[in-house]
Structure formats: C-alpha cells, structure tokens
Amino acid sequence: MKSKKELDLHRLTRNNAWGGFIVFLVLTVIISALMAATGSAFLSYVFESKIKDQYRSISSAVKAYDEGSPEHDSEIYGILDSKKIPYYILDENGEMIHSYGEIVRFNPEQELAINSLFDSVSYYTNVDVGVVEDEDHNNTFISIPGFIKFVANYEKNVDRNSSLGETVFVIPLWIDTLTRDGTRHLFYKADLSVSFMDLSYGIVIYLAVIVLMVTVLIITFISALSNAIRKANTIRLLFTDGTTRGHNWLWFEYKGNPILRKKKNQNRTYAVVNIEMVRYANFCVCHSLAEGEAMLQRVSVLLEQNLMRNELSAHNSAASFALLLKYTDEEKIKKRVSHIIEQLQTISDEHKFNFQAGIAVVDIEKTGEVDSRKRMVIDIEREYHYASAAKDTLSGSADSGVAMLDDKLIEEQKWIDIVTERQQTALDKEEFVVYYQPKYDPKTDTLSGAEALIRWQSPEFGFVTPNRFIPIFEQNGFVVEIDHYMIRHVARDQKRWLDEGLKCVPISVNVSRAHFIEDDLAEQIRDAVDGEKCPHEYIEIELTESAFFDDKKKMLETINKLKEYGFAVSMDDFGSGYSSLNSLKDMPLDVLKLDAEFFRGEQGDGRGEIVVREAIKLAGFLNMRTVAEGVEHVEQVKFLREQGCDMIQGYYYAKPLPMAEYEERMKESAGKESAEGADTPAEGSGLSAE
C-alpha cells in the first residue's frame, strides 16, 4: 500500500505530456474535417451560382415555350434554335418532340438526386450517374459531398495560362424543366464555365483558413512539447541532489519501493545499505566545504559504477549514501560492501577516508520463519533506518567497517514502533503508574522527601520498566506529555494525602530538557499543580544536569519563575557532566543531587569521598540541600551522615514503591517521629543497619 507521500509523488511525476499531444491529434482531425468542409462548401457555392446564372439565361425562352400554344411551337423552336445551344423536348411518354444540336438523352425516371434551386428543375450530367465514359471523351468524375454529383467533361483546348477573367474549365450540365403543366420535359444544355476569378476569392479565404488552422496546430504542438520538456526538467530537478549532482533520497524512494514490491521480484532478495564517510565534518573544517562536496561527488560516481541492473544509489544527507543491492547471502553482501569501501578509501590521492556501512536485508528468513513484513507493505525508508541502526553499532570507532542488522536490533526497532504506536492510548487509559522512592534524613532515619518515578503497567506487555520506554519518548518528543502527566498525578496524590491528614514531604518530579524550549514552562507547571489544588511547596521540579547545557538564559528565567511561584528546584545527576561547577555558579538551585556513580565500585584511594565531601560543603555554602542517590551500603550512609548530607535516596532505605506502600512508609515515619518525640532519644538509629 502506498503512503500519502508516495501518492503525491506519483501524481507530481506522472507524465501528463500525452494529454497535450492527444489534444493536438484531436485538433488535427477536427481542423482537417473543417478544411474539407470549407473547400466543399466553397465549390458548392461556386457551382450553385453558375447553375443559377445558366437557368436565368434560358428562363425567358422556357417561359415563352411554356406559355405558348402548340400551334405556335414551330416559331418557338426557331427562337430556341437561334441560340445555337443544344436542347430537346420530350412528351409525357418520353417521345422526342423536337431537338437541336448534339444531345444526350436522359430518362426523367432516372433523375439525379440533388438539391433543386428552383421548383420543377433538375440537373443531369451528360452521362448516366456514376458512369464514366471512355477516355476519348476525357471524362473525370467530380464529387461535391452533400450537394451534387456530376461528371465533368473538361474542354480539351482550355488555355491553362489564360488571364484571371478567362475560362479555366467548362462543365457540361443538362437542365431539365417541366413545361406545359408538367407533361413535357425541356432539356437544355448549360455549359458551366469556371474562371480563375471565380476561384480566386475562395482560394484566398481557403488559404487564410488553412494558415489559421495550421497556426493553431503548431501552437498546440509547441505548447504540448514545451509542457513535456518542462515536466521532464522539473522531475530531473526534483530527483537531483544539490551536492553530488547525482540522485537524491526522493529518487531513491520513488524508484526503490516499486522494485521491492514488484511481483516479478518476489523471489529476489534485496539489501538496503547505509554507507557513510567517517568524520566528514572534520574534513570540511580542516579544508573547505567545497572540497568536501567535491569528495562526495566522487563518492557518488564510484557508487554508481559499482551497481548492477535494478540496483540503486543515492545521496541521502551530509556524508550518508543509500544503496539498494541484490542479496544472495550474508557473506557475499558483506564482501561486496567491503570491496566498495576499499575503493572509497583510496578515492583521493592526498587523503585516506574511512567509511562505515550498515546492511539491512529485506524479506530474509529468520529462525525458520519468514519475516512478517510482507512485500507489498515494505517501506524502503524503514529498511534504510534498519541499516542505519546497524551502522550506528560502529559509531564508537573511527575505522572503516561493515555491520549487518541482527535479530536484537530488529526486535529493538519493533519495540520502538510498538511503544510509539501505543503511547497515546496508554496515556489516555492511565496505564502509566507513579512509583515513589523515599528520601531519608540520615541523622534521624525519618522520611524527608521522595522522588516520583514512572512505570508502565501494560495489559499487553505487563510491567515495563522506564528504561524500556523513556528513551523512546525522549527521542520522539512524547516525554513532554509524560512530564505533564506525572506533575498532575503527584499533585493529585499530595492533595489527597493532605486531606487525609497525613504528613506530606516534598516530592521531586523530573522535567525533561526537551520541555525547556517552551517559554511558558513555569506557567504550565503552576497551572497543572493549581488544577489539583496542591500547595506548591510540596512539589519539587528536578532538572538533569544536561539540561543546563542548552539555552542558559531561558533556563535561568524558568527557574526564577518557578521559585517565584513557590516551587523548589533541584539539579539531578550532579557530577555526571563536565560543567557542573559553572552551572552551580549561574543557577539559583535549592537542592543538589549527587550522582549515584560516586557511590559505586571500589573506594580505592578515597578520591571519590573527597569529591563528595567537598561537593556537600560547596552546596552548604550556596544554601543548597544535598541528596545522595544510589546509596546501597551502610558504610556509605555513615560517611554521608558524617559529612552532613541532608537526604539519602537508594536501596539502603527503600526501592521505588507503589503508591499504597509509600503511604505506609509515610505513616510509619510519622509514627516514628511521634515516638521519638516522646522518648527524646539522644540519637536515632532509624532504618539503618548499624
């Protein structure tokens, strides 16, 4: 099934030039028909005019014969004979009454079907209709569609070089007129003479029509051809990469998906390859962008030279190229790609470049089962991402290498798709649940805070730990929705506990660095907490140290607003980055959380303890409280207590707890405080294993 992008691309690249050529052909047929009709109409008009003139020339003699009495016929015959034009008269039985000159007899019953100009008038040729006499008579069949058919007997001695007013050719035509009350036929020979002058006006008009119509045809053809050329140029620009001047990613998708989906290729297996030049940006910095692009152009040419039929290569982005290669087995494809990389490494005489490639095989059998991705729903962009994921496994090295997509990577990609597909539904159904990890005061072993942590209780996948979905949310941006979700739920729980009379402690909620691109983040947090009617002092906003590496000005503005609204702000994972001290200098924080890595592994020469000791002192000087997270051993608790650490969070005291269990801890802590207040002990031992 084609995606919307593919359908749009198909419509854009569809060749519509044929439409213009079809219009051209249709116009050609129509114009040809119009030209023929125009010529026929003109000839009909000329001959009709001549016939009318001939009829008028004898109409007086015919009228005299028609109105005269039989006893005066001989006198009328003399008048008719004096005109020296052949004629003859037939009675009602077809018998000859009188004739003059060389005649051709016609049977009135065989009248030629024509359009009569006047009532009781018919026209005949000097031979039977449709019959051409022998060649000695020089007869030529002439046809004027829709008006009259006759045989033209060209005069043998016509002067072809005569002036425009002289006769060009003569057509003999017999005119039949009914006389004496329709009982007699008078056949009168009329020689229709046509001159250049008769034809000149029509020829001029006809030529003008021809010029006009041919002009229209030429314009139509040129327009169709221009559209076809413009379309071809547009498609060429659309599919041309601006850097390499070769094919771009859009072309790779446009050509690649049909190859993978064609039925004739269903028995073939292909591999999608992502091949990338290592440290291309460094090369451009050391030399120039122009030199870098020149190298990419050479890479593009070399990749094209290594292709076989029905294989593709295109520049994707920066120094990455996409390949679609035929696949037979894993060993051969890796060997082939390695050979291409060897050629690329020596593409320049002055420099040696390294290339890394990831390979994803399309429709490969895995563990005896055919991959569930059916051929017709294969998306080459997704396959390229699989290849990119394989290549990313090599990113820790700057050396050339080839990596195949394995089952583990495939499962990871499938899991990403599943999480992305179900994330909104899970949020709407509140499948995400809040766990609370207590923070204890090491001096009194009493509850003094907590951190809200998210878990996913999925009906389909069961209990899902955050490390399996939070990184996906951070990548696709859904973590912003999770932040809002957590703040609302924590504020709601705090308000309920306060209403129940429980002693609440501040609970920290993580806010991702992606959230800080919003100018009104502080207002969003304030409104979410106010919506649950929770006092602001019971909500602590926790930021990771990496968030401080972004827009510091905007970060500072947001922190100041949060503190103005009554929220405490803490920095998580202090010591995991390289700019911690600088961040402390600039940001007015309330709480500093020491990274758990400080408390893992061997103590060694005590350097870690020195850093922790000084960090606690530094926080005290800056009026910040300290929290040590990841604490698991009693020795660590003793050390932190001695150094004056305010709170400890870790498995030594408690793991992250469901809401009900955390409520029990709240009650236990409240009871312990009451008991200690009554006994007034010198020192508390609490939950520690001392």
DSSP result, 215-267: HHHHHHHHHHHHHHHHHHHHHHHHTB-TTTSSBBHHHHHHHHHHHHH-GGGTT
Residue 488 pLDDT greater than 70, yes or no:
yes
Cα–Cα distance for residue pair 323/359, rounded to 1 Å: 9
In three-state secondary structure terms, 617 is: helix
Say yes or no to pLDDT of 16 above 80: no
Quick one: which of 565, 503, 509, 558 has its CA closest to 535? 565
Q: How far is Cα 443 from Cα 441, in angstroms, rounded to an integer?
A: 5
Q: How confident is the model at residue 371 (pLDDT cuts 50, 70, 90)?
A: very low
Q: Using CA atoms, how far apart are residues 70 and 17, in angstroms rounded to an integer?
A: 78
Q: Which residue from 509, 671, 485, 486 is spatially nearest to 591, judged by alpha carbons? A: 509
The H or E element containing residue 323 is: strand 320-327
Tokens 């064609």 correspond to what residue? 262
Q: Which residues of 568-578 are buried (b: 16+ CB within 10 A; e: fewer)?
A: bbbbbbbbeee
Between vectors from CA 452 to CA 446 and to CA 454, what angle results, nearest 5°?
140
Which residue type is seen at 379?
A: D
Question: Rounded to the nearest 10 degrees, how much is the dihedral formed by the CA atoms of 126, 131, 133, 134?
Answer: 180
What pLDDT sits at residue 117?
37
Strands 320-327 and 269-277, sheet pairing: antiparallel
Residue 489 confidence (pLDDT) = 96
Evaluate if residue 522 carries a pLDDT over 90: yes
In terms of Cα–Cα distance, which of 187, 186, 188, 184 is closest to 92? Answer: 184
> Which of 174-188, 487-501, 519-533, 594-608 has the lowest average pLDDT?
594-608
6-10, 267-271, 458-462, 515-519 — most confident range? 458-462
Helices (H) and strands (E) counted in the chain, each on its own, are: 18, 23
Distances, alpha carbon 23 to alpha carbons 34, 211, 227, in Å = 16, 19, 13
- The pair phi, psi for residue 252, each rounded to 5°, is -60, -45
Residue type, 497: W
Average pLDDT, integer, range 5-14: 58
Q: If you average pLDDT over each of 68-72, 155-159, 650-654, which comes out highest?
A: 650-654
Over range 467-484, report the average pLDDT: 91
Work out the number of other CB atoms within 10 angstroms of the CB of residue 7.
Answer: 11
Residue pair 456/431 in contact by the 8 Å Cβ criterion? yes
Looking at residue 571, its pLDDT comes to 86
Residue 8, pLDDT score: 56
List of E strands, 14-160? 87-90, 96-100, 121-124, 139-144, 148-153
- Is the pLDDT reported for residue 205 higher than 60? yes
- In CATH, the number for domain 419-661 is 3.20.20.450
3-state secondary structure of 207: helix
More confident residue, 332 or 196: 332
Q: In whole numbers, what is the pLDDT of the chain averaged over residues?
A: 78
Of 142-146, 442-446, 510-514, 622-626, give the lowest mean pLDDT range: 142-146
Q: Does residue 373 carry a pLDDT above 50?
A: no
What pLDDT band is residue 603 in, cutting at 50, 70 and 90?
low
Average pLDDT of the residues in 649-675 = 88
CB 271 within 8 A of CB 359: yes
Q: Which has more confidence, 188 or 602? A: 188
Structure tokens at 207: 């030529």
Cα–Cα distance between 366 and 335 in angstroms, integer?
21
pLDDT at 27 over 60: yes
DSSP element (H, E) containing 339: helix 330-345
Tell me: pLDDT of 414 over 90: no
The torsion of the CA quartet 52, 54, 56, 59, rounded to 10 degrees, works out to -130
Structure token digits, residue 220: 């139509």
More confident residue, 216 or 363: 216
Calculate ∠ Cα 151-156-157, nearest 5°: 140
pLDDT band, residue 160 (cuts 50/70/90): very low
* CA 137 centroid distance within chain: 75
Check pLDDT > 70 for residue 14. Answer: no
**Percentage of residues in the chain having pLDDT higher than 70:** 77
CA 266 to chain centre: 25
**What region, left, alpha or beta, does residue 155 occupy, with left being phi > 0 and alpha being psi -120 to 50 degrees?**
beta
pLDDT at 338: 94
CATH of 249-405, one of 1.20.120.420, 3.40.50.2000, 3.20.20.20, 3.30.70.270: 3.30.70.270
Using a cut of 0.75, tell me whether the model's pTM lies above it: no
Out of 120-134, 223-237, 275-289, the most confident range is: 275-289
pLDDT-based confidence at 125, cuts 50/70/90?
Answer: very low
* Gyration radius (Cα) of the chain, Å: 51
Lowest mean pLDDT among 80-84, 508-512, 547-551: 547-551
Q: Which candidate, 624, 630, 623, 627, places its Cα nearest to that of 645?
A: 627
| Strand (E) or helix (H) holding 184 | strand 184-195
* Local structure of residue 682 (DSSP, 8 states): S
Torsion angle defined by CA atoms of residues 77, 83, 87 and 90, in that order, rounded to the nearest 10 degrees: -20
Rounded mean pLDDT, 576-584:
63
Rounded mean pLDDT of 593-613?
Answer: 74
- Residue 280 corresponds to which amino acid? Y
Percent of the chain whose predicted confidence (pLDDT) is above 90: 32
Run of H or E residues at 379: none
**Greater model confidence, 341 or 170:** 341
* Domain ranges (residues) in the chain: 20-208, 249-405, 419-661
Amino acid at 583: S
Specify the amino acid at residue 592.
L
**The pLDDT of residue 567 is above 90:** yes
CB atoms within 10 A of CB 76: 20
Mean pLDDT of 485-498: 96
Beta bridge partners of 191: 172
| C-alpha span between 437 and 650 (Å, rounded) | 8
| 3-state SS assignment for residue 398 | coil
**Any idea which of 120-134, 245-259, 343-357, 482-496 has the lowest mean pLDDT?**
120-134
Band of residue 4 on the pLDDT scale cut at 50, 70, 90? low
- How confident is residue 130, by pLDDT bands cut at 50, 70 and 90? very low
Tokens, residue 312 = 């593709």
What pLDDT score does 441 carry?
Answer: 93
Q: What amino acid is encoded at 541 in this protein?
A: I
pLDDT score of 288: 87
Q: What is the largest CA-CA distance in the chain?
A: 171
Question: Of 65-69, 473-477, 538-542, 592-596, which range is least confident?
Answer: 65-69
Q: What is the rounded average pLDDT of the residues 573-588? A: 69
Mean pLDDT of 63-87: 79
Query: pLDDT-based confidence at 617, cuts 50/70/90?
Result: very high
Residue pointed to by tokens 């994707």 = 316
How far apart CA 505 and CA 662 sit, in angstroms, is 12
Those residues whose C-beta lies under 8 Å from the C-beta of residue 568, and which sit 6 or more positions away, are 506, 537, 539, 540, 541, 590, 591
Q: What is the pLDDT of residues 421-445, one digit of tens each?
A: 999 999 999 999 999 999 999 998 8
Cα separation, 491 vs 534, whole angstroms:
6
Query: pLDDT tens digit string along 91-114?
Result: 888 888 888 888 877 655 444 433
Best mean pLDDT range from 25-29, 117-121, 512-516: 512-516
